Structure 1
Amino acid sequence: MNNNFSIALAFIAGLALAWWIEGMRWDTDVATLKQSHTAELRKISDQALIDLTNQKKRTEAAQVALAALDAKHTKELADEQAENEKLRADVASGARRVRIAAANLATSQLIRNSTSGTCGVGDAAQVELSGAGGRAVLDLRASAIKDDQVIQYLQGYITDVVKQCKLK
């Protein structure tokens, strides 16, 4: 019985030793996994920081480019409006007149004077508009200029935004 008791005690001691060794191995595996998981999270975090910094730089560059585009088109529009106001003032004061060359719209040719032998833009029959008519034409011109500037601005804006949105 003493022999069986020693065998049982040795068996239990062996099981306890195996349990303890397996527990230590388990702890080592968990620690290794924790380290690799922490390293992977750090790597992901560092990459996210780099991506965020790059995106911030792209956004800032886009904002600078769009501000420059806005300033350019605002200046061009202001210059064109100033020119149109100058023309309007000249028409109102009588210093300038608005004339329209008459054209045969069916043939897209300018109507020429019957006394002239050659045809050119200077030979076209002209219609002189009244002051109100001239101002109306200049209003249309101002509207066309503004629309053109807005279209150019929007096209430039879209082009810049598309360039900035492309991932490199």
Structure 2
Amino acid sequence: MNNNLPIVMAFVAGAALAWWVEGLRWDADASKLNESHTAALKKQSDQAVIDLTNQQKRTEAAQSALAALDAKHTKEMVDEQAKNDKLRADVAAGTRRVRIAAANLATCQLVGNSTSGTGGVGDAAQVELSGAGGRAVFDLRASAIKDDQVIRYLQDYIRKISK
């Protein structure tokens, strides 16, 4: 057995050396894989930051456009309401009157006034409303203006969002 001891020791030393070399190779492979994985993660992270920044810019641009759209339609609505309020105040003060021209709805022609001698739109029969009736007409006008402005605002909003 003494004769085999150097062979066994050489075999054990060779196995230990092979184990150590293989361990170094595995460590090198793991290090390379770790580096490539880290590089891939960094690339994904950088792309995510770029995408997030671009999305934030698009969101800010959309919010800015919508704020401008809101300001535009709010101003238009305020202007129309002020105009309607002025007309209403004029009717209440008696400086203006609300008249409705009678029309033949079957033919869509104005009904002529038999006492007038000249032709034209001014010949249509007219009904003058009381102050309360005039205010009711302006209330309806104000409501129609507001509804129209809201519809325009929503249509513009949808156009901006769908781009």
TM-score of the two chains, using structure 1 as the length reference: 0.87
Q: Which residue of 2 aligns with 1:23?
A: 23
Deviations 1:121-144 (A, max 9, x none): 333222111111111001100010
**2:81 corresponds to 1:81:** yes
AA of the residue aligned to 1:132: A
Give aligned-pair identity as a percent. 77
Equivalences for residues 18-167 of structure 1 within 5 A? 18-114=18-114, 120-163=120-163
Number of positions where the alignment pairs a residue of Structure 1 with one of Structure 2? 163
Moved more, 73-82 or 2-11: 2-11
Partner-residue secondary structure (3-state), 1:127: strand
Deviation at 1:115, TM superposition (A): 6.6
Q: Which runs of 5+ in 1 are unaligned?
A: 164-168
Alpha-carbon distance in 1 for matches of 2:138, 2:45: 61
Partner-residue secondary structure (3-state), 1:95: coil
AA of the residue aligned to 1:88: R
TM-score of the two chains, using structure 2 as the length reference: 0.90
AA of the residue aligned to 1:129: L
Q: Which runs of 5+ in 2 are unaligned?
A: none
Deviation at 1:118, TM superposition (A): 8.8
Alpha-carbon distance in 2 for matches of 1:89, 1:111: 30
Deviations 1:81-128 (A, max 9, x none): 110011011111111111111112233332223477997533322211
